[in-house]
Amino acid sequence: MNIEKIFYIILSTVLVTVFILFTFIFSPNQFNSENSSKQKTIYFVDHISSAHQKVIDLFNEKNKGSLRVETINLSFDKFSTNERKELLARYLRSKNNRIDIFSVDQIWVPRFARWGVPIQQFLDSTEINSIIPNALETCYYKDSLVAVPLYIDIALMFYRDDLLRKFSDYPELKKQLDESITWEKFIELSKRFNINTNPFYIFQADDYEGLICSFTELMANQNNPVVDANGNLKLDTPEGKKSLQLLVDLVNKYNASPKSVTYLKENESYNLFAKDNGVFIRSWPSMIDNDNEFMNDEMKSNLRMAPMPHFTGSKPGSVYGGWNLMISKFSERIPEVIKFTKFLLSEESQKIMYEEGGYLPTTKTLYEDEEFIKKHPELEFFKTLYKTGVHRPFLESYTNVSDILSFYLNKAIKKEISVDEALKEATKKINDKAILVK
């Protein structure tokens, strides 16, 4: 066994130990409660935002005395996406029944399917058909429904409208942005700003999943998926080189993006955008939710949404994100968990999640509800984005693919290796099923 694998095992063991501590320390009330009352308790693992908590509190109030949901909060402020994934995987491998329901990044579904309960048997066709298709398709593994979507996400750009209004050709610029500006025109626009005063384009280029999302979009622009229908990698191609070269050039040739983007994940990018008065940022709809400590009301009032740019001659594309719910096969409270799951999928809960936290609904009827649309006209914009949405590859080995590819993309953007080297080395490592410890 090599040093990398030994380190990986040690790191995973530490993570799962932390997770066990979280279950016992941060959920202390419930472990004795069921011994002294008839109330049943189920345990939900997720990033618990204020919107999540409001929905959970409402469920608990409706079921007071009979059923209660307790949370294990794997907050994005304390755990990276990769750490959450490893904590869950290690814990579920132990076959412990403490977790009942947990959320996964939609791209993890194939990996976690082995620990999930097939859900279709508990939902009728009306309930399943009430979910928007672009969210539902992320919930299947080998034709079995093993998850349901809590919310969907889709990439977009936010921009500072007050900064663009200073230009005499603002109406034309806004029209181009609203229709998805080309990368070529976007780069020309960047030359009109002093990046030291206003960083032009901030994107997340750290060695993590967010960088994969940007790369996937650029590949989709050229109708060249990262992985084809047969599971073959399509990285070391002219389209792959063009995609990565653009990310490299945004930072190192055009100076459209600051070099610090190579160390940014979501929260760090929001901080930089707010602190340094950025012009554009690649982001997700929830960037402007109430939990974002970096965005004050004045800044939010000047933000506008636009589709991601695209290469000339191609069509726009935005990567889907979102988190799905899975039920642990080791749970001893399946009926109770199903009840909670259905509540999370209800219009009532989905409205709260959107209005309190900016989490895009997965319930069809909310996109057809005239009153709700009138109250939230931006949902029409999201419906348009969905038409050009693209998914990352649904592979059981996707985690490893992502870890390796993001590592080499990041190195290329830092100019530590060439574009050709990055794609060739990533392809070789992935094909060799290498394990990359970060």
Q: What is the CATH number of the domain that holds 119?
A: 3.40.190.10
Listed residue (159, 150, 202, 207) closest to 180, CA to CA: 159
Indicate the range of 62-66, 67-71, 280-284, 315-319 predicted with least confidence.
315-319
Same-domain status, 58 and 121: yes
How much is the mean pLDDT over the chain?
A: 90
In this prediction, residues 395-410 reach a mean pLDDT of 92
Per-residue burial over 137-154, b = 16 or more CB atoms within 10 Å of its CB, e = otherwise:
ebbbbeeebbbbbbbbbb
> Is the pLDDT assigned to residue 3 strictly greater than 50?
no
Task: Give the whole-angstrom CA distance, residue 217 versus residue 225.
Answer: 9
Looking at residue 438, its pLDDT comes to 60
Dihedral sign computed on CA atoms, order 100, 136, 282, 264: positive
147 within some domain:
yes
Roughly what angle, to the nearest 10 degrees, separates helices 334-345 and 50-62?
A: 120
- Clarify whether residues 19 and 109 are in a common domain: yes
Q: How many separate domains does the chain show? A: 2
379 and 414 in a single domain? The answer is no
Helix/strand/coil for 138: helix
Q: How far is CA 13 from CA 18, 27, 93, 95, in A?
A: 9, 21, 12, 15
Query: How are beta strands 280-283 and 156-160 bridged, if at all?
Result: antiparallel
Q: Which domain holds residue 88?
A: 3-153+321-383
Q: Are residues 212 and 225 in the same domain?
A: yes
Torsion of CA 365, 367, 373, 376, to 10 degrees: 120
pLDDT > 60? residue 23: no
Burial category of 260 from C-beta neighbours within 10 Å (exposed 0-12, middle 13-18, buried 19 and up): middle
What distance in Å separates the CA atoms of residue 387 and residue 372, rounded to the nearest whole number?
21
Tokens read off for 120: 């279709």
Q: What is the pLDDT of residue 25?
A: 46
State whether 103 and 204 are in the same domain: no
Decide if pLDDT at 332 tops 70.
yes
Structural domain includes residue 81: yes
290 and 341 in a single domain? The answer is no
The pTM for the full model equals: 0.86
CA dihedral 80, 333, 42, 323 (to 10 degrees): 30
Q: pLDDT tens across 267-307, in order?
A: 899 999 999 999 999 999 988 876 677 888 888 899 999 99
Please state, in angstroms and rounded to a whole number, the distance separating the CA atoms of residues 369 and 155.
24
**202 within a domain of the structure (yes/no):** yes
Looking at the structure, tell me whether residues 129 and 160 fall in a common domain.
Answer: no
In angstroms, rounded to a whole number, what is the distance separating the alpha carbons of residues 379 and 366?
A: 9
Q: CA–CA separation, 193 vs 280, rounded Å?
A: 11
Per-residue pLDDT tens over the stretch 358-376: 899 999 999 999 999 999 9
